[in-house]
Amino acid sequence: MGKNKNKNKVEAITPRDVDFARWYTDVISKTELVDYSPVKGFMVIRPYGYAIWENIQSLYDKRFKETGHKNMYFPLLIPQSLLTKEAEHVEGFAPEVAWVTKGGDKELAEPLCIRPTSETIICSMYAKWLNSYRQLPFKYNQWCSVVRWEKTTRPFLRTSEFLWQEGHTLHETAEEAQEETMQMLNIYREVAEKALAIPMVVGRKSEKEKFAGAAATYTMEALMHDGQALQSGTSHNLGQHFTEAFDITYLDRNNELVHPYHTSWGISTRLIGGIIMVHGDDNGLALPPAIAPTQVVVLPIVMHKEGVLDKAYEIKKMLEKHFRTEIDDSDNSPGWKFNEWEMKGVPIRLEIGPRDIQNGQCMLARRDTGEKIAAPLDALDEHVEKLLSDIQQNMYDKALAMREEKTSTAVNMEEFKQNLSDNPGFIKAMWCEDPKCEEAVKAETGATVRCIPFDEDQEVIGEGKCVCCGKHAHKMAYFARAY
Amino acid sequence: MGKNKNKNKVEAITPRDVDFARWYTDVISKTELVDYSPVKGFMVIRPYGYAIWENIQSLYDKRFKETGHKNMYFPLLIPQSLLTKEAEHVEGFAPEVAWVTKGGDKELAEPLCIRPTSETIICSMYAKWLNSYRQLPFKYNQWCSVVRWEKTTRPFLRTSEFLWQEGHTLHETAEEAQEETMQMLNIYREVAEKALAIPMVVGRKSEKEKFAGAAATYTMEALMHDGQALQSGTSHNLGQHFTEAFDITYLDRNNELVHPYHTSWGISTRLIGGIIMVHGDDNGLALPPAIAPTQVVVLPIVMHKEGVLDKAYEIKKMLEKHFRTEIDDSDNSPGWKFNEWEMKGVPIRLEIGPRDIQNGQCMLARRDTGEKIAAPLDALDEHVEKLLSDIQQNMYDKALAMREEKTSTAVNMEEFKQNLSDNPGFIKAMWCEDPKCEEAVKAETGATVRCIPFDEDQEVIGEGKCVCCGKHAHKMAYFARAY
């Protein structure tokens, strides 16, 4: 990295509370996570951003495989005739797909769309593959990119192309499909909470917000520092909507020809946006150790003094056996380096100078708290391991406290609006489940139903009356403005 | 898998020497590696095929990272104006790209092509990122899919979409770029030979066959069982062709504004086609242990006898700590299972029955030789490890012997044609490097120059005269018909 180019880099980040949107844009560009490409709405994921994605990917992929899923790859392009087979689905996606109309020099007889999601093409093949109940369940997943033509875009949060995974399963019974839908939602949540250190609210989407073609959509929702929600992963019980439309049948245990039950589920590079907006601060990124591309950066202090660099390399070599470790031996000033690696969100900065060496120790600075701790060079790896795990936990706890602070309840629209303006965040309120109330709330406040929590997480707010119409309501829902 | 559906599956594979093309098609579909998608020329990579790709990918990715490369991700779509910036490049790729002309409901102002390769869009960003020699080298790679509109397609070998990686690097000097080009070619070759067990011939491509826009293209070429060559990976020294066309400049050590030197390199799912056509036989696939999704399959014999299944599970549990292990406890007959797993190319079939248990042993059957060996249950993992490594080596040796058998020399066109008809394969022959001779050989025989070996691999064939025009020739080249 060019020295001059980076000077005063950190100073250039807009303070988070002055302008959250600009702060976000500053952080992602100055830390070189992404860049804007020559194609409007499409992002370039730079190596530092991609390394975070690789870590997220490998954690989820491991869980998918442990639960019996296998990866596969389907074509990028989907014939128009397939996309239009399931009525709700085409209505939901047709307005936002990109169309290929020419291949080589020739106009195509039928336009092909770039997959916005792959239910349709996958179902067309599942119909061919499935014959007998003995083959079920089908538990397959693919990692790929999808394209949805968006008007307003923001890197990671909403872009015309993004990276994701899409699981697609078939089952003998409705119960099994529902179990799978829940299992994947739970895996999404567990990894997000444990590795990304982002607490999640989970529940069902309203009819209006569910996936085009689903029987039910379940979601995990996170709260960002500016009080807006981020839909972070969805798991769909698709019932038999697609398996009927695509005529997927098999001979069941009674030798009858029936349609299987179907699920799909996805998480995407959007999660990186969540990490930034939950954990970042005025100094830049703060990355949870579990997904940080660099967990420890070693900074030799007074580098030219004999023995310092050697010791720093020795420490790096020892630590990199267990942790993702880098050393910064550039000729930038220590102050510059502190700022740079802080901005990059590296969980631990390890400083080692002549005096430290004399004392058989080094200094460990935590990104999450700023605290500096002297650590003996003996058993340094155990120290670092313990510290990384403390940081991971502390980041989750802080994020949870932040969310709780920004979560309120409302019993009527007045209170609802007051809360949104005084303390933007999640609002827990009763809802009669009438789409008219949902639309009225959105029109008046910009907030949407993020999810209806599962029974075990339900509460009665106030006297159990719909926040909008005042009629008796069975369900509490989370409302928020959302990305 | 449905029992009835698969009966007599193995019998249905066309013998390899009767019709190689049909044999190939039978193997890939019956082993469920791939399927034909609803979009002409596009393949579905099924879980068994994709698992091979994941193994190949992880081996290469490890080597890329060890040599200091980082992954990133660039947009799928490239504006027409970027594609056309480097003259040779556009000429080479324009006839085979797919064009997106509509996004959502709107016609696009400028058509976007789906990347056939990403030099152009990557260079447009490198131009923005690079400022100083201190930032060099740039050593980045991406794993993605690319689209090239092909008229005649065959799964893995030539499809309109395929998965690959493309490395893109920038360097201060021509020497460094050349070193990088060679380093990546060597990594390609090493992994291909060690893990895929496919011996490679390496060298430079002729001017006619080089990458559109390259200063020089280097290639590794493998020989298939039918005597046709498969270009298996290429590494391009792009000189300053693209960095000039895209105006990538930086301040060098003398504070002068100069263009960097540039390389790119790629391998693809085509390698899977190579594995099939080098190692497969009349019984189906044969997979080298290093990339086999399943390395050992445990088959309990006389399953209903007390203790057999338990022992089989115990063995599976023990082996799966070290090897990719599966158990087949389906109610198919042992004979059916033998054929099935043989067809799937699993390197070791482990049989365990009541008598084996009594004798404290099991039977290990090798896919590569068909040999069956009794192995004591004590220290079984060491046995299996040794056997897998023997199989890996033997598969390479067999492939090398096959290639040597099918490699001949020719001093004139008569001999050349005779060889191609008697013993199709590589023909080593002198070539004057005149494109006219290259074209004449192709027109007369269908064979092309696969590569011109490096100096250390050069030989003088006959009296050192061009096989076509008879003039004095400095170089020996490998010729073959190719996929």
Secondary structure string (H, E, C) spanning chain A: CCHHHHCCCHHHCCCCCCCHHHHHHHHHHHCCCEEECCCCCCEEECHHHHHHHHHHHHHHHHHHHHCCCEECECCCEEEHHHHCCCHHHHHHHHHHCEEEEEECCEEEEEEEEECCCCHHHHHHHHHHHCCEHHHCCEEEEEEEEEECCCCCCECCCECCEEEEEEEEEEECCHHHHHHHHHHHHHHHHHHHHHCCCCCCEEEECCCCCCCCCCCEEEEEEEECCCCCEEEEEEEEEEECHHHHHCCCCEECCCCCEECCEEEEEEEECHHHHHHHHHHCECCECCCCCCCCCCCEEEEECCCCCCCHHHHHHHHHHHHCCCCCEEECCCCCCHHHHHHHHHHCCCCEEEEECHHHHHCCEEEEEECCCCCEEEEECCCHHHHHHHHHHHHHHHHHHHHHHHHHHCEEECCCHHHHHHHHHHCCCEEEEEECCCHHHHHHHHHHHCCEEEEECCHHHCCCCCCCECCCCCCECCEEEEEECEC
Beta-strand pair B261-268/B229-239: antiparallel
CA distance A186 to A63: 11
pLDDT at A157: 97
What letter represents residue A268's amino acid? S
CA distance A291 to A56: 6
The closest of B147, B164, B285 to B233, measured between CA atoms, is B164
Chain A hits for B4, Cβ within 8 Å: 132
Which ipTM was obtained for this model? 0.95
Chain A hits for B125, Cβ within 8 Å: 35, 37-38, 44
**In whole numbers, what is the pLDDT of chain A averaged over residues?**
95
CA distance A216 to A266: 14
| CATH number attached to the domain at B296-390 | 3.40.50.800
Q: Does the structure show a pLDDT above 60 at A2? A: no
Looking at chain B, the number of H-run helices and the number of E-run strands are 15, 23
- State the architecture of B407-480 in CATH terms: 2-Layer Sandwich (3.30)
Residues A223-272 pLDDT 10s: 999 999 999 999 999 999 999 999 999 999 999 999 999 999 999 999 99
Residues B276-309 pLDDT 10s: 999 999 999 999 999 999 999 999 999 889 999 9
Do B71 and A82 make contact, defined as CB atoms within 8 angstroms? Answer: no
Give, in degrees to the nearest 5, the angle at Cα A240 between A238 and A244: 130
Chain B hits for A100, Cβ within 8 Å: 98-101, 114
Q: Does the structure show a pLDDT above 80 at A1? A: no
CA distance B387 to B376: 13
Task: Decide: B172 and B261 in contact? Cβ < 8 Å.
Answer: yes
**Which residue carries 């058989």 as its tokens?**
A360
Residues A55-97 pLDDT 10s: 999 999 999 999 999 999 999 999 999 999 988 888 888 889 9
User: B292: exposed, middle or buried (C-beta count within 10 Å: 0-12, 13-18, 19+)?
Assistant: buried
Do B75 and A43 make contact, defined as CB atoms within 8 angstroms? Answer: yes
User: B80: exposed, middle or buried (C-beta count within 10 Å: 0-12, 13-18, 19+)?
Assistant: middle
Q: Does the structure show a pLDDT above 60 at B5? A: no
Residue from the list B73, B99, B131 with its beta carbon closest to the beta carbon of A101: B99
The closest of A157, A132, A109 to A253, measured between CA atoms, is A132
pLDDT at A393: 98
CA distance B20 to A169: 35
A125 pLDDT tier (thresholds 50, 70, 90): very high
Residues A351-382 pLDDT 10s: 999 999 999 999 999 999 999 999 999 999 99
**How far A410 CA sits from the closest chain B CA (Å)?**
39
pLDDT at A8: 44
Q: How far is CA B70 from the centre of its chain?
A: 21
B11 pLDDT tier (thresholds 50, 70, 90): low
Q: How far is CA A339 from the centre of its chain?
A: 27
pLDDT at B438: 98
CA distance A234 to A184: 9
Q: Which residue of B has its CA nearest to A148?
A: B104
CA distance A353 to A336: 16
Q: Does the structure show a pLDDT above 50 at B3? A: no
> Quick one: fold of A296-403?
Rossmann fold (3.40.50)
* Mean pLDDT (whole number) for A452-475: 97
If you compute the radius of gyration of chain B from its CA atoms, what whole number of angstroms results?
Answer: 25
Chain A hits for B144, Cβ within 8 Å: 145
Task: Decide: A131 and A95 in contact? Cβ < 8 Å.
Answer: no
Q: Does the structure show a pLDDT above 60 at A5? A: no
**Which residue carries 């091979």 as its tokens?**
B52
Chain B hits for A99, Cβ within 8 Å: 100-103
Chain B hits for A53, Cβ within 8 Å: 73
CA distance B438 to B478: 12
Task: Decide: A149 and A97 in contact? Cβ < 8 Å.
Answer: yes
Do A125 and B42 make contact, defined as CB atoms within 8 angstroms? Answer: no
Helix (H) or strand (E) holding B420: helix B413-422
**How far B1 CA sits from the closest chain A CA (Å)?**
5
CA distance B169 to A307: 34
Chain A hits for B124, Cβ within 8 Å: 38
Q: Does the structure show a pLDDT above 70 at B2? A: no
Do B50 and A71 make contact, defined as CB atoms within 8 angstroms? Answer: yes
Residue from the list A1, A51, A105 with its beta carbon closest to the beta carbon of B70: A51
**How far B388 CA sits from the closest chain A CA (Å)?**
24
Residues A187-210 pLDDT 10s: 999 999 999 999 999 999 999 999
Q: How far is CA B300 from the centre of its chain?
A: 35
Give, as one character, the DSSP assignment of residue B14: P
At the top level of CATH, which class does the domain A3-279 belong to?
alpha beta
Task: Decide: B282 and B13 in contact? Cβ < 8 Å.
Answer: yes
Indicate if B296-390 has the same CATH topology as B3-279: no
**In whole numbers, what is the pLDDT of chain B averaged over residues?**
95
Q: Which residue of A has its CA nearest to B98?
A: A103
CA distance A421 to A404: 16
Chain A hits for B35, Cβ within 8 Å: 125, 128-129
Mutation target to probe the A interface, by most A beta carbons within 10 A, among B99, B168, B336 is B99
The closest of A155, A111, A114 to B114, measured between CA atoms, is A114
Per-residue burial over B347-361, b if 16 or more Cβ lie within 10 Å, else e, is bbbbbbbeebbeeeb
Residues A375-384 pLDDT 10s: 999 999 999 9
Residue from the list A76, A96, A131 with its beta carbon closest to the beta carbon of B147: A76
Query: What DSSP string runs through B299-326?
Result: EESSTTSTTHHHHHHHHHHHHTTTS-EE
DSSP strands (E only) in B24-132: 34-36, 43-45, 70-71, 77-79, 98-103, 106-114
pLDDT at A415: 98
**How far B54 CA sits from the closest chain A CA (Å)?**
9
Residue from the list A47, A112, A147 with its beta carbon closest to the beta carbon of B140: A47
Residue B109, token pair as written in the block: 């102002």
CA distance A265 to B204: 46
Give, in degrees to the nearest 5, the angle at Cα B465 between B459 and B466: 95
Give, as one character, the DSSP assignment of residue B73: B
Which sign, positive or negative, has the C-alpha torsion B201, B207, B210, B214? positive
- Angstrom distances, CA of residue A188 to CA of A179, A265, A469, B166, B353: 14, 9, 34, 30, 42
Q: Where are the domains of chain A?
A: 3-279, 296-403, 407-480
Q: Say whether B269 sits in a helix, a strand or coil.
A: coil
Chain B hits for A44, Cβ within 8 Å: 72-75, 125
φ and ψ at B85, to 5 degrees? Answer: -70, -35
Q: Which residue of A has its CA nearest to B35?
A: A125
Query: What DSSP string runs through B376-393?
Result: ESTTHHHHHHHHHHHHHH
Structure pTM?
0.96
Give, as one character, the DSSP assignment of residue B76: S
Q: Which residue of A has its CA nearest to B137?
A: A1
Beta-strand pair A407-409/A426-431: parallel
pLDDT at B186: 98
Residues B145-195 pLDDT 10s: 999 999 899 999 999 999 999 999 999 999 999 999 999 999 999 999 999
Residues A397-406 pLDDT 10s: 999 999 999 9
A468 pLDDT tier (thresholds 50, 70, 90): very high
